[in-house]
Amino acid sequence: MSSSDYHLHEIWDAGIVARMKYISTRGQTEPMSFSEAVMTGLARDGGLLLPESFPQVADKLAEWRSLSYCDLAFEVMKPFVDIPDADLRDLVDRSYATFRDPAVTPLKRVGDVHILELFHGPTLAFKDVALQFLGNLFEYQLERTQSHLNIVAATSGDTGSAAIYGVRGKERINIFVMHPKGRTSQIQERQMTTVLDANVFNLAVDGTFDDCQGILKQLFNDLSFRDRYCLGAVNSINWARVLAQVVYYFYATLQLGKSDGAETVRFCVPTGNFGDIFAGYVAARMGLPIGKLVLATNENDILTRFFTTGVYSQGSVNPTLSPSMDIQVASNFERYLYYHLNEDCSGVCAHMEAFAKGDGIRVPLRGGQVDPLFAAGTGTTADTLAAIKSCYADEGYLLDPHTAVGYHVAQQHLNADEPMVCLATAHPAKFSDAITQAIGEDLAHHPLLDALAGKPSRCEDMTADVDQLKAQVLKHVS
């Protein structure tokens, strides 16, 4: 079945409500349902899919404050989806039953900030929050249409293993995951390559994550190949990924309102692909009282440069201790650009075409800033190591290097009237070498990760070439 057939026969169950339509940032794709958007991934005109509007929920926040994470996820997601309520509840409950903390994303006070721990899922990374849900959602859709899906993904570290764990063993799904060879942590690589299920294929690409992401987009823009082999996306170009991440912004804000009486909250988000912080932007547009979204990058600072200068221009990728952020082309930036340009699709097309040719994107500053909702800062390798060391010495809390970048930048944007939440994107044991370098002791371990040592692995090498990627798909798909 081609992606154009994913109308899912429109009415599945008596009484279903078609809630929201989805449109492309580039304006050349017909509006579609949530179910179509999930299976489509990247819009057929090369743009990214977005809901046609955002529900306004400010008047519901007080009653949502007492909800469990799963109940809150159901309420936040419901206006965006075309799935019967009972089925959505079941998908949510099954997806978060795999998490090791009953709160799913617990909030902990660490010095001057609150740490939102997003790493209690199966692969100990924040990507699990979205990809456990997306894996179950894919399976649900495919069962209803008696179809198959070939997922092709690019990862800078954590997306790959989270996506694999979300769909491993599912009989209607194959998954092909590209990672930049030698540019993820050894544990991140082992988490992917030691999964030997028959539907999982790991590909080590000679290049950077941006190279992987580039050939992924080339593949999806080959519409005849994409349709013939039923390709699907789990990268954050898939709207369902963003939607699942919106929930924990609501959860953290409502928890702080309940415990501290906070009216507005700040969030500091370590990011490379702009997906995690874009989820916070969506939450703010829905009416969540977010005082500031503080974007934190490492030396690969294209996003920090944009929000401080108005210029979005690609540089070379520098390997760092926070490899999941070693990115110079942020795939979700186009979604934000669409809103920054007041939903002008032609403007988005012009800017993205210029960027693809190597030109930078320039937007005017307003009052010396790009957007009053955003602040931005950079944490260098030295800053990262210092943050890990000082946080452990002062608070007894271990930060992974990505969270340490956020922790460092968060200190520069504290406000006495607005609590600061720093998103913790991975368990420190995933980056034990960085912890040892910072503290001088090998303190970061987790039994799940220690058990990977010595396990057999499977992976194939390839160059950063879309034809080689097509050949891998053809080799394993009948």
Q: Are 189 and 156 in contact (CB under 8 A)?
A: no
Q: Cα dist. 182→88, 111, 138, 217 in Å?
A: 39, 35, 30, 22
Provide the 3-class DSSP secondary structure of residue 229.
Answer: coil
Q: Are 271 and 259 in contact (CB under 8 A)?
A: no
Which ranges constitute the DSSP H helices of 396-444? 401-411, 432-439
DSSP one-letter string for 150-192: EEEEE-SSHHHHHHHHHHTT-TTEEEEEEEETT-S-HHHHHHH
Distance CA 412, CA 320 (A): 21
- Among the listed residues 108, 127, 181, 455, the single catalytic one is 127
Position 461: which residue type?
A: D
Q: Are 399 and 424 in contact (CB under 8 A)?
A: yes
State the burial class of residue 100 (Cβ atoms within 10 Å of its Cβ: 0-12, 13-18, 19+): exposed
Task: Determine whether 470 is an active site residue.
Answer: no
The token duo for 367 is 């009052």
Distance CA 168, CA 172 (A): 10
Distance CA 428, CA 207 (A): 26
Distance CA 170, CA 147 (A): 12
Q: Are 413 and 375 in contact (CB under 8 A)?
A: yes
Residues assigned a catalytic role: 127
